[in-house]
Amino acid sequence: MPNEIFMPKLSSTMEIGTLLQWFKEEGDSVEIGEPLFEIMTDKINIEVEAYDDGIFLKKYYEVDDQIPVNAVIGYIGSASEQVPDTPPAQSEDESQEVSASYAESVSEVLTEVDTTTDEKVRATPAARKTAKVHHVAIHEVSGTGPKGRIQKRDVESVVSTGGNHQRVSPLAGKVAAREGIDLTNVSGSGAHGKIMKNDVTNAKAHTVDTTPVKTQKIAGMRKVIADRMSQSAFTAPHVTLTSEIDMTKAKEMRQELLPAIEKETGYRLSFTEMIIHAVSNVLTRHPQINMTFEQNELHFHEEVHIGLAVAVKDGLMVPVISHANQKGLKQLTQEAKEIGKQARDQKLLPDQLKGSTFTISNLGMYAIDTFTPIINQPEVAILGVGRIQDKPVVIDGEIQVRPMMGVSLSFDHRVVDGAPAAAFLTDVKRVLEQPFELLM
């Protein structure tokens, strides 16, 4: 049975790809890993290699055709096999199945990104065609058209003057320029002798001593963190509000409660527990902040479950203090200290990392004033806490030195507007500046 060749989906936003060139013609033999065709998306130009052996039986599209992602653009198989004269249509279910399976396969054979959106070479189709025929590196041609666009005559001028006929990918050209490598004697391993990044890297290795660089593959906890942070940052439009909180009375209350709580629990009350207490109290009055967003549904939570970001070896864990709104400072101090230790000792149970409705990330122990925390999805907001430092502030028309703490509230602007987020942060500021009401 012949193997289908699909237009790959190279990004979550890609809908169509433009076919720039075929490296094989119908009837040619094809081996796995050989460059098969080159496409241009809204973000990159990229060469796609074959992931099947056989004969190139059929191509359905020509250069400059715009093709929907996951469409069948050709077939590879044995010479005796028959293929349709026209590209087969696909149902939506089939298209989704192809998107999943083909994306996995094609990720292993994509060779090299040539340009980014902002760095695409501006050239007419005729100029590109002429450059390909004469093996001229289009990105090295100076354009005389509007806004520097490369015209056919610009390429012909390079050919007629005996210019560089080496085919060089833009990325290879940039690496060569950065490393000061002369490409004259570099052999290209790409289609039609095109010089690729690996060719430049290999040439550099043979001419310049390289200092070994320690590398480490992202895996385990670090991989999970990377995936979750990327998903949150690129799916939720983050907006961050910042404020400063006068911690004068909070410091006074902490000093008053320190001996009693330490005697009862064996742990010292910190500002972290006071912040958890204040935030939990305020969240009960702001249900639009104490909610989660899952599968296009908003889930409003009556109880407050606080996730507390804890730095651990090689990563970050967010254990959860359940029903934080029902607990006092003594219980919060004991639980926060114990789950923090369990996290650092890698002894947390899976259930202790689930179900948070709001997260607090405290970097107050470092020289950090404010920062932009990434939302712990499916939550819709997260509070970042900076250090407390003495600053001059105006109180009743007079300059006084007060202990001020910077805070940052990041929220998901898809489901939370600026006004309710600002109202929540204002209430947190008010409660921490008048903390004795938490004891009522």
Distance CA 71, CA 59 (A): 12
Q: Which among 134, 135, 238, 413 is annotated as catalytic?
A: 413
Distance CA 190, CA 255 (A): 70
Q: What is the DSSP letter of 376?
A: -
How many C-beta atoms lie closer than 10 Å to residue 101's C-beta? 11
Q: Does residue 262 contact residue 268 with C-beta atoms inside 8 Å?
A: yes
Instruction: Compute CA distances 318 → 137, 324, 360, whole Å.
Output: 51, 15, 9
Say which amino acid occupies 414: R
Q: What is the 3-state secondary structure (H, E, C) of 73-116?
A: EEEEECCCCCCCCCCCCCCHHHHHHHHHHHHHHHCCCEEEECCC
Q: Which among 286, 314, 417, 427 is annotated as catalytic?
A: 417
Comparing CA positions, the residue from 65, 47, 60 lying closest to residue 5 is 60
Q: Does residue 421 contact residue 429 with C-beta atoms inside 8 Å?
A: no
Distance CA 344, CA 312 (A): 5
Catalytic-residue membership of 417 = yes
Distance CA 319, CA 327 (A): 16
**Kind of pairing, strands 16-22 and 66-68?**
antiparallel
Q: Does residue 320 contact residue 356 with C-beta atoms inside 8 Å?
A: yes
| Burial grade of 327 (CB within 10 A; 0-12, 13-18, 19 or more) | buried
Which residues make Cβ contacts (< 8 Å) with residue 334, sequence separation at least 6? 265, 267
Say which amino acid occupies 297: E
Task: List, in sequence order, every beta strand (DSSP E) within 124-275.
Answer: 238-246
How many C-beta atoms lie closer than 10 Å to residue 345's C-beta? 9
Distance CA 389, CA 162 (A): 68
Catalytic-residue membership of 52 = no
- Residue positions annotated with a catalytic role: 413, 417
